[in-house]
Amino acid sequence: MAGHGGPVRALAVSPDGDELLSGSFDTSAIHWSLRTDSAEQVLRYHADGVNAVVLLTDRRMITAGADARIAIWTAGRPQPDRVLEGHAAPIVALAVSPDRSLLASASWDRTVRLWSLSDGTSRVLEGHSQNVNGVAFTPDGRLVSVGYDLALRIWHLPDGQPETVTLPAPLNAVAVAPDGEIVTAAVDGRLRMLSREGKVSGEVAASPTPVVALAMSADGTLIAAAGIGGTVAVIDRKARSLLRTLVGPGLPVWSVAFLPDRETLLTGGADGKIRRWNARTGDPIGSILAGLPPDPLAAYAGDHGADVFRACVACHTLSEKEVQRAGPTLAGLYGRRIASLPGYRFSDALKSMDIVWTPETVAKLFEIGPNAYTPGTRMPEQRIGSAEDRRALTDFLGRVTSR
């Protein structure tokens, strides 16, 4: 399914499997019919990328964006019924409580908010020391949140007291199985499984690159883990084993969602397309390669620096002649002050920083991670552990962005 003009950042499937809601870096959400694979409605409200979406059972839809707003819609209406405001930074994940009374939102303002879906009132859950990237409810109504601070917090509601588990790597996403087991995804490409009480009970290597999205089949048997490197790992949760790896067009996969049949998987790609897969066989459903855009790095085949840069190509172009992606172009990067490129909306936090981009500052960015080097950035957390790889990347950028 093609309709978005930018990477598909979020997917949500209706309980009956007939409808899909997608959110994109292009600032829109699309309500799809999965019976006909056609767009029913394009939702335009947000001033920045739509990072999280929810489909409720009463024809309502929820979208949340990098503009720190949550919009609640009724299908078919052109404007939101209600807008929820309170976060001070991008909202990147949403979850609805088992009784459908509460909405949880995770934000890069380091907080989680709980919203009443009946009257819109909210409360703030504080404790994370860095960006909060994921939220999920447990079957018994507790809330789990994860963030770049390595912390997984299990919040006991309604008192709001958390139990905190510290894990080895910054966390990008979380999902909870029907039996209450918690699954997290980290920037080291690994999934970690925890008991209801927060005890680590297993882990699986899912990707050589950061895992940025998780989905679980309705029966909890399969996990889909999307990597920024362009693959999706399908994992047998009980066996703690990698069943197969889905390989698409080689572009980052930003979102995943299972249909209720427990085996059909949807993926949202950096090329703006939504694809279907049989998760149990690994086979694509339909023409998965139809209409692919040309590889923007094809001219640099065999260049190690280009291979390292491939994880960045979802958001950044190397030339001003290319259509702008979610992030600013890197054309003329070296010598440019941070957050000074005309025509791009940078976060206020970046505008106050005294950084000039050079091979040394770019290397430092990926050595310690964007969240530590440029706190307040919208850039996904990613580190390059190898000094040789960092040098290959900075040399490559020096050669191709100064043209």
* pTM (predicted TM-score): 0.76
Q: Is 199 exposed, middle or buried (0-12, 13-18, 19+ CB in 10 A)?
A: exposed
- pLDDT in single tens digits along all 403 residues of the chain: 777 878 899 999 998 999 999 999 888 999 999 988 888 898 989 988 999 999 998 889 999 999 999 999 999 898 999 999 999 999 999 999 999 999 999 999 999 999 999 999 999 999 999 999 999 999 999 999 999 999 999 999 888 789 999 999 999 999 999 999 999 999 999 999 999 999 999 999 999 889 999 999 999 999 999 988 888 999 999 999 999 998 776 678 899 999 999 889 999 988 888 999 999 888 888 754 344 456 778 889 899 999 999 878 767 889 887 756 667 889 999 999 999 998 777 878 899 999 999 999 999 999 998 889 998 776 767 789 899 999 999 999 999 998 6
Domains of the chain: 8-285 (2.130.10.10), 298-401 (1.10.760.10)
Nearest-angstrom CA–CA distance, 255 and 185: 13
Nearest-angstrom CA–CA distance, 112 and 130: 12
pLDDT at 294: 64
Tracing tokens 């489909």 back to the chain, one arrives at 55
pLDDT at 327: 73
Q: How far is CA 401 from CA 122, 335, 339, 348, in A?
A: 46, 11, 17, 25
Nearest-angstrom CA–CA distance, 7 and 274: 10
Nearest-angstrom CA–CA distance, 255 and 269: 7
Nearest-angstrom CA–CA distance, 399 and 273: 31
Of 304, 327, 301, whose CA–CA distance to 314 is shortest?
327
Nearest-angstrom CA–CA distance, 338 and 340: 6
User: Computed from CA positions of residues 300, 188, 243, 268, in that sequence, does the dihedral angle turn out positive or negative?
Assistant: negative
- In three state form, how does the secondary structure of the chain look? CECCCCCEEEEEECCCCCEEEEEECCCEEEEEECCCCEEEEEEECCCCCEEEEEECCCCEEEEEECCCEEEEEECCCCCCCEEEECCCCCEEEEEECCCCCEEEEEECCCEEEEEECCCCCEEEEECCCCCEEEEEECCCCCEEEEECCCEEEEEECCCCEEEEEECCCCEEEEEECCCCCEEEEECCCEEEEECCCCCEEEEEECCCCCEEEEEECCCCCEEEEEECCCEEEEEECCCCEEEEEEECCCCCEEEEEECCCCCEEEEEECCCEEEEEECCCCCEECCCCCCCCCCCCHHHCCCHHHHHHHHHCCCCCCCCCCCCCCCCCCCCCCCCECCCCCCCCCCHHHHCCCCECCHHHHHHHHHHCHHHHCCCCCCCCCCCCCHHHHHHHHHHHHHHCCC
Tracing tokens 């990072």 back to the chain, one arrives at 51
Residues with Cβ within 8 Å of residue 338, at least 6 apart in sequence: 350, 353, 355, 356, 357, 374
Maximum CA extent, the chain: 58
pLDDT at 292: 46
